[in-house]
Structure 1
Amino acid sequence: MVLAYDRASGAEVWRSTVTEQVPHEAGHNTNTFASASPVSDGERLYVSFGSRGVYCLDLNGKTLWSRDLGKMQTRAQFGEGSSPAVSGDTLVVPFDHEGESFIVALDAKSGEERWRQTRDEQTTWSTPLITEFNGRTQVVTNGSNRVRSYDLATGELIWECGGQAGNPIPSPVRFEDNVIVMTGFRGYAIYSIPLSSKGDITDSETITWIEEDAAPYVPSPLLYQGQLYFVKANNGVLVSRDVKTGELRIDQTRLPDISTVYASPVAANGYVYLTGRDGTTVVLKHGNSFEVVAKNKLDEEIDASAAIVGDEIFFRGKQHLYCVAKE
């Protein structure tokens, strides 16, 4: 089911049931059957339910097209979670699992397949980054075996790099002409890779910088004003690095009253917001020192990343949607 709410009042605007199916896997107790984030190009809304299909809706909730990409067999039946990405008239859907993994590009208007590339990967929960460099648009995907970049127009493999730890979930981020990828499950890896790379650059001097002392497992990093903010594994331990050089800005520091984190950090107006799974949000002042300026708690579990729009911040809890606004 897909739902839309009025930003100002929270009133439900519409809801659409796109499919009803019996799950073929149990899933992890912290996952749901709708973990992937919807994405919009301003004209249409795209939602991936993984094994239950990819759907395109208009902004009034009417289904325009759907595609069935098959059934995922996720590792240890942990469930599905990778989100699609859209750029121009192309929708990219990752499909890494314990079966035959692939990445596919669909026509955003019709749902017709444009290209498909097989992937030597196990279950991955990362969302692709689509970014333009020197007139060519790249689709950068993280993976247990390789980080790979594909040409958005053709699916051609542009470059690849090994070295990530297992089960990568954090989404890649871009700074200037580099893309930063990371993972923090049973090992830590942060790689800054030039978008000008070609071919297999594993263990080459092409890589801008590498750090292996701490990286996130589930949350994606925050790139804000030249700094990377992230937690160590899923723990309430903050680290910050200079995005250009990898230099440490804030060493591993415990976040007050936060033990476990799934939600990615967000930032606005010089402040960084980090939300723990118990609903506690710690607000830090952006900079090279660890300075807490506020701490608030919602009485609900929160695993989804907060969204900031203007003076409002939205939290999706286990049972409720919250809007916190400036008075």
Structure 2
Amino acid sequence: MKTKLFLLAAFLFLNFISVDIAGQNLPGENYWPQWRGPLATGAAIKGNPPVQFNESQNLKWKTPIPGKGHATPIVWGGKIIIETAVPQAFEGKPNSEIKEDGNSWMDATETNLVLDYKVLLVNLNDGKIVWEKTVASEKPEERTHKLGSWASNSPCTDGERIYAYFGSRGIYCLDFDGNILWERDFGQMEKVMSFGEGSSPYLYKNRLFIQWDHQGDSHFFALDAKTGETVWSDERDEPSSWATPLVVEINGKPQVISAATNLVRSYDFNTGEIIWSCSGLTRNVIPNPKIADGILYLSSGFRGNATMAIDIAKAHGDITGTGIILWQYNQDCPYTPDNLLLGESLYFMRANNGELTCLDAKTGEVKYSKEKLEGISDLYSSPSGVGDKIYVVSENICLVIKAGDNFEILSSNQLDDDFHASPVIVGDKLILRGFNSLYCFED
């Protein structure tokens, strides 16, 4: 059975288009409710953001954001939700002094920083910060990669509640006025090589899913979204991963997909029992599972390359090496950047480099490979797209690439910021979260 994906009629009171994926209504054109968007593919359902923009052209607004965080923002209606970590003091001998320009602390990877972990709500129309809520204030025991941050997990929302996840700092459920409704602490993660944390929560109906893979005791959690209580959990043999789960509806029943090093697992939504599994990904899995037309896509690219497509309706038990895996592509796969499933194509970077490959999503046929993204050498954000446009952002630049079978750069847009968060597309607006500022562009 193909995954449901169809446009519904506009709601009488809410007046927005919705999409049914995995049996749940997800908001459409003016919404980006989770990491990688309404379909968890990196693609917006509909929209037409500008192709040409910079610090003055088509800039609707630009708002300084306190602290540091690479978490991609989410959008619900006219509200943007952002996570950040703001330094308050050093405990013990500091690595460096906090200067007036606020930049020196951004290079710190040690754990003597006392940080305020904050959730911000920003008005989409004018960029004004409506409120900011400190959910925790403490010194992280873990280190993080010098290119990372202590606020790299994107939040998610159903329009009623905000779920802000800070890894070892816990997960917090807030209302849209900034009040904390409940919170959970899962303990302290031990990420490999102190690479930092980054997996995001995934919300499906009344369940919230957390992938908690590290060098200690790894778990996969299913929480009651209203209370935060554990519905079921799986203690599993997995090293560090950073992928975000995905829920899909197959043959009328929801499955929870988790991509990790040892196994890709499909859990029964209600019980947590494993429906099917397979091996084949590399270590340090970061890209997320994606689905379209009944085909599940998985990728990883750390010290190896693996991309595969699975006929998920036929998957049961151990499917490793079976014909249920429709095709595999084992070169030039992404490490940190997530891939983009847009139209009939799967797009991805080579490792963390500015080189783009495009495959036919159904057949795995190469449309083009390792096309150089001029002006981009290293890349830690993920491409996002809508219609016939793909947006790729890196240090001081955002490229707009034509979607389709042939590689073409439509524009190269210079910006006064660095970017590790991924582009967000809501209607005709493009939202970019930089190291220092939040941007909104619109024709």
Specify if TM > 0.5: yes
Q: Which amino acid aligns with 1:319?
A: N
Q: Distance in 2 between matches of 1:210 and 1:305?
A: 26
2:240 aligns with 123
Is 1:272 aligned with 2:390? Answer: yes
| Partner SS, residue 135 of structure 2 | coil
The answer as to 2:144 corresponding to 1:27 is yes
1:269 Cα deviation after fit: 3.2
CA shift, 1:136, in A, is: 1.1
Shift of 1:292: 1.2
Residue 140 of structure 1: aligned partner: 257
Picking from 62, 68, 72, the partner of 2:185 is: 68
Give distance in 1, aligned partners of 2:140 and 2:224. 27
Do residues 2 (structure 1) and 119 (structure 2) align?
Answer: yes
Residue 257 in 1 paired to residue 388 in 2? Answer: no
2:159 to 37, 42, 46: 42
Tell me how far apart the structure 1 counterparts of residues 166 and 154 of structure 2 sit (CA, whole Å).
Answer: 9
Secondary structure of the corresponding residue to residue 138 of structure 1: strand
CA-CA distance at 1:194 after TM superposition: 1.9
* 1:104 aligns to 2:200 (yes or no): no
Distance 2:201 2:245 in 1: 7
Q: Structure 2 stretches of 5 or more lacking a match?
A: 1-117
Q: For residues 220 and 387 of structure 2, what CA distance do their matches in structure 1 show?
A: 36
CA offsets 1:217-267 (integer angstroms, 9 cap, x no match): 011111111101111101000000010010001122111111111111111
| Kept in 2: contact 1:151–1:158 (CA 8 A) | yes
Following superposition, the deviation at residue 80 of structure 1 comes to 0.8
Output one character per residue of 1:101-142: Cα deviation in whole Å (capped at 9) or x when no partner: 010011000111100001211010111111111111111111
Q: How does 1:234-313 map to 2 (within 5 A)?
A: 234-276=352-394, 278-313=395-430
Q: 1:27-82 deviations in whole A, cap 9, x for unaligned?
A: 11111111000000111010111111111001111100001111101111111110
Aligned residues of 1:220 and 1:230 also touching (Cα < 8 A): yes
SS of the equivalent of 2:188 reads: coil
- 2:163 and 2:183 map into 1 onto residues whose CA distance is 10
CA distance in 1, matches of 2:136, 2:371: 44
The equivalent of 2:329 in structure 1 is 211
Kept after mapping to 1: 8 A contact 2:245/2:256: yes
Report how many residues are paired: 325
- Distance of 1:139 and 1:58 partners within structure 2: 26
Distance 2:125 2:179 in 1: 23
- Which residue type is aligned with residue 253 of structure 1? E
Matches within 5 A, 1:178-197: 178-196=295-313, 197=315
Pairwise CA distance, 1:301: 1.1
Instruction: Give the C-alpha shift of residue 279 in structure 1.
Output: 2.9
- Displacement over 3 Å in runs of 4+: none
The answer to whether the Cα contact below 8 Å between 2:344 and 2:360 also exists between their aligned partners in 1 is: yes
Q: Within 1, Cα distance between the matches of 2:364 and 2:324?
A: 15
CA contact (8 A) 1:218 1:262 kept: yes
Find 1:113's aligned residue among 227, 230, 233.
Answer: 230
- Contact 2:312-2:324 at 8 Å conserved across structures: no
Partner of 1:51: helix, strand, or coil? Answer: helix
SS at structure 2 position matched to 1:18: strand
Cα offset for 1:291?
A: 1.2
Amino acid paired to 1:139? V
**1:152-171 equivalent positions in 2, closer than 5 A:** 152-171=269-288
Residue identity over aligned pairs, in percent, reads: 43
Q: Distance in 2 between matches of 1:132 and 1:8?
A: 35
CA contact (8 A) 1:104 1:116 kept: yes
Counterpart in the other structure of 2:318: 200
Compare CA radii of gyration and give the structure with the larger one: 2
Kept in 2, the 8 Å contact 1:250–1:290? The answer is yes
Structure 1: unaligned runs, 5 residues or longer: none
Contact 1:238–1:255 (CA under 8 A) maintained in structure 2: yes
Alignment equivalent of 2:289, drawn from 140, 152, 172: 172
Alignment counterpart, residue 133 of structure 2, candidates 16, 20, 23: 16
Distance in 1 separating the partners of 2:223 and 2:147: 30
Which of 1 and 2 has higher RCO (CA within 8 Å, sep 6+)?
2
Distance 1:118 1:76 in 2: 22
Q: Distance in 1 between matches of 2:302 and 2:173?
A: 33
Normalised TM-score (structure 2): 0.72
Q: CA deviation at 1:186?
A: 0.6
Aligned equivalents of 1:18 and 1:222: distance in 2? 32
RMSD, aligned CA: 0.9
Amino acid paired to 1:105:
A
Take 2:302 and 2:252, find their aligned partners in 1: how far apart are those partners? 35
**Matched residue type, 2:391:** Y
CA contact (8 A) 2:210 2:220 kept: yes
Query: Partners of 1:192 and 1:92 in 2: how far apart?
Result: 23
8 Å Cα contact 1:175/1:244 also seen in 2: no
- For 2:144 and 2:256, locate their aligned partners in 1 and report how far apart those are by CA, in whole Å: 28
Q: Distance in 1 between matches of 2:166 and 2:149?
A: 10
Q: Any conservation in 2 of the 1:140–1:148 contact (CA below 8 Å)?
A: yes
